[in-house]
Each structure stands twice: as C-alpha cells, then as structure tokens.
Structure 1
Amino acid sequence: MSKLLRTVAILLLGNLGWTWALIPSSSLGGLSLSARRYDSIFSFGDSLADTGNNPVVFAENGIPNPVTRTPYGCTSFGRPTGRNSDGRLIIDFIAQHLGVPLVPPSLAYNGSFRRGANFAVGSATTLDVAFFPDGKLPLNISLGVQLEWFESLKPSLCHTTQECEEFFGRSLFFVGEFGVNDYHFSFPIKTVQEIMLFVPDVIGTISTAIQRLIEHGGASFVVPGMIPSGCTPPVIAMFSDADPAALNSTTGCLEDYNSIGMHHNLLLQEALEKLRGKHPNATIVYADLFGHIMEMVESPRKFGFEDVLAICCGGPGKLYCGDDDSYLCEKPSARLFWDGVHLTEAAYRYIADDWLRSIDYSPATARERSFSY
C-alpha cells in the first residue's frame, strides 16, 4: 500500500524555550488513493476548508461578509465563491487530483450530493458555543452542528446499514482543520497556559466525531492538524506590544502561541493512533499543516514568496479585504497569507502537492478537472 509522508511536530523544551523539529515518518495505515477509487468527498471544518457555506450562515445572521466580494476568488475563479482565499483551497486540489468534482457547500448548493458535500463553515469552532463564556461567539456552527447537518443529509444518500457502509466506504472524509477558532477566539481573554488546559477537550471532540462517522460507514479519513498561530498576521498584530524576547529571532513568530498548535498536533496524532487501533479496517491519516507553513515562513524564496508575515489583501484594524481603502498586493502568488490566517491559492497548492507527493496515482486521476461543481 502506498504511504503518505507526514511531518510530525515535536515539542522540544530546553534552555531556549519552545522550539520545533520536523521528523518525517510514514503514516500509520497509509492512504492509498491509487488503489481506491473514491466516488465522493465529505468535508467538515472551518474557513480553511469552506467552499461556500460561510456567506449563507453569515447572511442569515445579518453579519457582513467580505468573501462575497472581489478580489476574493480572483486567481482561479474570476469571481468570489465563498472561499476565504484568492482561489482554490487544499480540498479543491485534492478533489481535482482524485478526479472528484469540487466539493459543493452543503448550505449553498441545490444539486445532488451523491459526489460529496462540504459542511465546513468559516469561523466554525470544534467545541459548541456554550463552551465559550459571555456569548463571545455569535454563531453555533461547531463540529457537532456540522455532524448534525451530515446526519440530516444521510437519508438522501443511503438507507440501510449495508447500503450506507458501501456508499461511505467509497467516500473520502476530511475532518478539519479544527482548533484554530477555538484558540484564536480565546486569545484576547485567556493566557497560553489556560488555553493549553482545554486542548484535550478539542482533541476529544475531533476523535468522537471520527468515531461517529465510522459508525455511519466512513472508512477513509484525512485529519489535518493545527497551523502555527504565532506566525499568522492577525495574531502578531494582536500582540504587537509583546516583549521582543517572545518573538523568534529568525522568523518573527510568537513562539508561545505556536506552542499551542504543536501541543494540539501531538495530542491529535495520539488520538488518531488510538482510533486506528480500535478500527483497524479504517484508514485514518494525519495531514500536517504546521510544518508546511513553518517551512514557507523559514524558507520563503524556496516557494517564490515575499513578505511571508504580511497579508496580501486587507489593512490594519477593522479594514477588511475588499473594503474601499484596503490594500491588495500586486502578486498573490508571491504571498503566503491572503487576508489573515487564510492562505493564498499558491500556498494551498504547495501543501496539497506535498500531501499527495508520495502517493502513486495515474495520469488520468492526476489531471486537474473543471472548476464547476
């Protein structure tokens, strides 16, 4: 069976404080996309995976949403599509490589979902809104809510247990990225140490969700880890008055906030290992985000990037991408971050290519498909 190269972030505690190292290892249970012909993709997550649910949810709650206007979608689609990027996301590249149609947003698509559905929503958390104090979150679009949407859709896809096992057995499930919003929403009101205390709750919720999907018949899962929060422009701006000693002298990233992502990723991989032991017939792959983004931050020229800690579109304070006075960089493909924590299509392409690099797939499945659903 083909093996997917994964990168594991290892926490090292020494005299210099938190740091990280990249240790390559083959994924347990290896994901063979060449041996399996997936008929559909089902996705859960936040804005890093949302292909168009965000505008629907935000409009229903009267919340302004910049992703519905230009220059969003300018690189690949020529129009806004509800994606928080200038173009395609990782899930789009994966779908094209597998020869599966781009995964339609479940709340914004009126066609058949036999080829898959995307339940991811921008701003989604892992934990339910009740976990966050003082009503800080206006929307309850958590992982649990997304699972309820999936379960509501399920009767239109299959009926008997055997039929569902056969249908979802030919499907690829993406569970995440989850965690970014749980932690980022907490940054203004909690210390790093306080946030570390509820990381196990986030991991437990992700693990339970995968267990639930396996019970529905799911057999193949890709579970992305956390990003390095301390390298994202909004977090760096939020703590612009931080002690210079808190910044990595080489990258300019906030190391304490990166440590949250590393801790999350280690616990996530431990949880996935337990699920593999419990469900030996399921393929559950950890997909690294942290290491890939760190590599781009540390070696930008390798990827043709400039100004890796600055956004391509937007502005200071509450100036959003697409606002009249917002800034738009001349070449999005030379930037890592598009409008905040969201990456450019160029960055997503590099990550998707790396996830797929060690997988053998035929030229027929590797060809990029049409952008239409």
Structure 2
Amino acid sequence: MRHNFSIFLVSMFLLVLLLITPSTNAKCSFPGIFNFGDSNSDTGGFWAAFPAERYPFGMTYFKKPSGRASDGRLVIDFLAQGLGMPFLSPYLQSIGTNFRHGANFATLASTVLLPNTSLFVSGISPFSLAIQLNQMKEFRTRVLEINPQGNNHRLPPKDIFNKSLYIFDIGQNDFTGNLAALGIQGVKQYLPQVASQIAYTIKDIYSELGGRTFMVFNLAPIGCFPAFLTELPHNTSDLDMYGCMMSYNNAVLDYNLMLKDTLSQIRDQLPDATLVYVDTHSIKLKLFQHPKDHGFLYGTKACCGYGDGEYNFNRKVYCGNSKIIDGKHVTANACEDPDKYVSWDGIHATEAANKLVAWAVLNGSISDPVFPLF
C-alpha cells in the first residue's frame, strides 16, 4: 500500500511538471488550435459578450475572474500549454487578443443545435455551433484579407487553417437543457441531430477551410454532477454505489456511443483527415467515483456553492452570488481548498480535475484511434 502511494506521488509530481511547463517537444506539431464548445472550454467569450463574471471564479490560477467557468485553468488551457502555445484568445474578446496560434469560439451555455429560445428566457447562449462555424469562416476570410503575408504578429499565417488542430467540446447543454421538462426519453429523440450536426460541421471545415485534424470530446457523466443530483428528478434506487444517477449516466453512454459511431461513418468520407474521438467521459467518471484515488476528497460535492450538505449546491444562489432566502442574506462562497474537489460549482470541474483530464487527452490514453499529443 505504501509502495502504491509512493508511485502515485511520483506520478502526480511528473504530471504537474508537464502541465505547468509549456512543452516544446510535442509529438504533434500544430501551429494553432481552433476550439468550438460551451462553458467547459470557454476562455472568456461569453463574458466578453455579457460581462458579469465575478470572484471567486479564477481564484486558483488567475487570482481574478478570467472568463472561465472554474477556479482556474480549463482542459483547453492545459492542452495549449502542453503544445507550447499561449492560452487561446476568445473570438468575441475585443481587447488584448492574440490569434497567432488560433482562436476559441466556445461560449458558456452554447448548444450544438440552434436554440429556439432567448438567453434571457432560458439561459441558453445564442452562439450555437452553427454560429461558431460562421464566426470561424469569417475569421479566416478576414485573416486572409488583412494578413496575406503573415507578418502581423497577432494574426495567424494563412497556412494555419489546414495545419491546425480543431477541437469540439460541445453538446452537454443540448443534453441537459430540457432534461427536467422532457425527461430522458424526450431528450433522446433529438440527440441523433446533435451528433449529425457535429459531423456536418467537421465535413464543412474539411471541405471549405482545409482542416485535417479533428478531436471530438464526448459528454461527461451528467448523473454525477452536484447540480443535477440536486435538480433532476430521481429516486434513491437510481443512485449507484458512488452516489451517481444511473439512468442519466446510461443515457449519456448511449449518446456517446452514437457520437462515436457517427464519427466512424464519416471517416470514410474524409480520407486524408485524422478524426479522433476522445473519451473524456471515462476519466471524469473515475474522478467522481474514486476521488481519493486521484488526490481528491470530494467527488459529488461542489467547492463553490451554498447549502453545504451532501452536494453544496442550491440553484437559487449560484457560486459567487448573494441572495435573500427566507429573510436571511446568504452567499455562495468557495471552499478554501478547491484542489480537493472534483466539482467547482456543481456544473463545472475544478482546475485540479481539468488538469487530470487534460493529461489523459495529451497522452492519448482516452483517444480512439490512439492519438498522443506528447
């Protein structure tokens, strides 16, 4: 037992060294990354459009709100660092951007499918995947117009578009947005459209922008998230031995299998492309189910929230906010040690959890086909 713990400590030390130091010896030499996604990979796009993020977001790494739905860095941040690049600038950010190594089109609350409601009604972002794709196309057009010689140090060279890595980390809001209203079976009715839209976007980038390398992240185990454990209807008999909702997690597995099959089908249509399915679900599930095996104390309990208890989540008082409840002024504060938690705010992961997920992506252990970036 002592020997195993020593191995764990050495492994964690090496992991930290790799992920805090930008790599200059990556196996894959990409000049840039173009990312499409939601809050799991948004580095500031949503808050550039709707500025309102507040502390304690960003408390661990940036020491202030950075537009990320976490206490620190996201998986996409660690991937950029691992490939020797700076953090990706959000496409929507107007000040301080540097697009030399790509751009991030992700925004919090984005969906794959076009939303049929307003942000101010349902909280769903107007920047769906189709909008992000249009932004990508406009970005390329403008780069080719403004920087044809590639001598603008804040814009990428014109050959970046067929040499870069294109990442898709989106679909969670399509799955969870209507779960409470429609139930699992109702949501399942339109999930094939979600997978198909991702496939269509990849083919469009391949044919129109020249993209050749794509990584598609699957969906996380929704049934283990503190927010959904608090809000979604379920019986105690639906909880597994780890405290996660089996019915919702099984539905996610069904979607992930469908997404994987969809990607397999379009590989034949893109003969000279590399299309990688990334099973981030598997590593996230391990963190929720066995937090202590990975250096955490809490799996299904949020670091930043109100209510303490089993989940420390109350939808009436979201992380960093204050409100009057039953005549009492309450605030959803952050814990002092987010590195001991898998969940940051009940919906998103802590920097510490994101770091472990990023390592699994970088070493290729959760990719199909195997695709190590180091």
Q: Same fold (TM over 0.5)?
A: yes
Q: Give the alignment of 1:172-321 within 5 angstroms.
A: 172-176=165-169, 178-215=170-207, 216-239=209-232, 242-248=234-240, 250-315=241-306, 316-321=314-319
Deviations 1:195-227 (A, max 9, x none): 111110110111111111111111111110001
- State whether residues 296 and 336 of structure 1, in contact with CA within 8 Å, keep that contact through their aligned partners in structure 2: yes
Secondary structure (helix, strand or coil) at the match of 1:327 reads coil
Deviations 1:80-134 (A, max 9, x none): 10000000001111100101111101111444423111000000011001389xx
- 2:131 maps to a residue whose letter is V
Q: Give the alignment of 1:116-155 within 5 angstroms.
A: 116-130=102-116, 136=122, 139-155=125-141
Secondary structure (helix, strand or coil) at the match of 2:86 reads coil
- State whether residues 38 and 100 of structure 1, in contact with CA within 8 Å, keep that contact through their aligned partners in structure 2: no
2:359 paired residue among 353, 357, 361: 353
Deviations 1:243-294 (A, max 9, x none): 211111x111111111221111111111111222111211111111211111
Task: Using the TM superposition, give the Cα deviation of residue 170 of structure 1 relative to its aligned residue in structure 2, in angstroms.
Answer: 1.8
Q: Distance in 1 between matches of 2:339 and 2:270?
A: 41
Deviations 1:3-31 (A, max 9, x none): xxxxxxxxxxxxxxxxxxxxxxxxxxxxx
1:322: which partner in 2? 320
2:349 paired residue among 330, 334, 343: 343
Q: Distance in 1 between matches of 2:183 and 2:205?
A: 33
1:41: which partner in 2? 33
Task: Using the TM superposition, give the Cα deviation of residue 317 of structure 1 relative to its aligned residue in structure 2, in angstroms.
Answer: 2.9
Secondary structure (helix, strand or coil) at the match of 2:200 reads helix
Task: Using the TM superposition, give the Cα deviation of residue 58 of structure 1 relative to its aligned residue in structure 2, in angstroms.
Answer: 2.6
Secondary structure (helix, strand or coil) at the match of 1:336 reads strand
Secondary structure (helix, strand or coil) at the match of 1:93 reads helix
Q: Relative contact order, CA 8 A, sep 6+: which one is greater?
A: 1
2:61: which partner in 1? 76
- State whether residues 336 and 344 of structure 1, in contact with CA within 8 Å, keep that contact through their aligned partners in structure 2: yes
User: What percentage of residue pairs aligned between the two structures are identical?
Assistant: 33
Q: Which runs of 5+ in 1 are unaligned?
A: 1-32, 60-64, 363-373
2:161 is the alignment partner of 1:168:
yes
1:92: which partner in 2? 77
- 2:87 maps to a residue whose letter is L
> TM-score, structure 1 length as denominator?
0.80
Distance 1:310 1:220, change over 3 A: same
- State whether residues 173 and 218 of structure 1, in contact with CA within 8 Å, keep that contact through their aligned partners in structure 2: yes
Task: Using the TM superposition, give the Cα deviation of residue 35 of structure 1 relative to its aligned residue in structure 2, in angstroms.
Answer: 4.7
> TM-score, structure 2 length as denominator?
0.79
Q: Distance in 2 between matches of 1:234 and 1:113?
A: 35
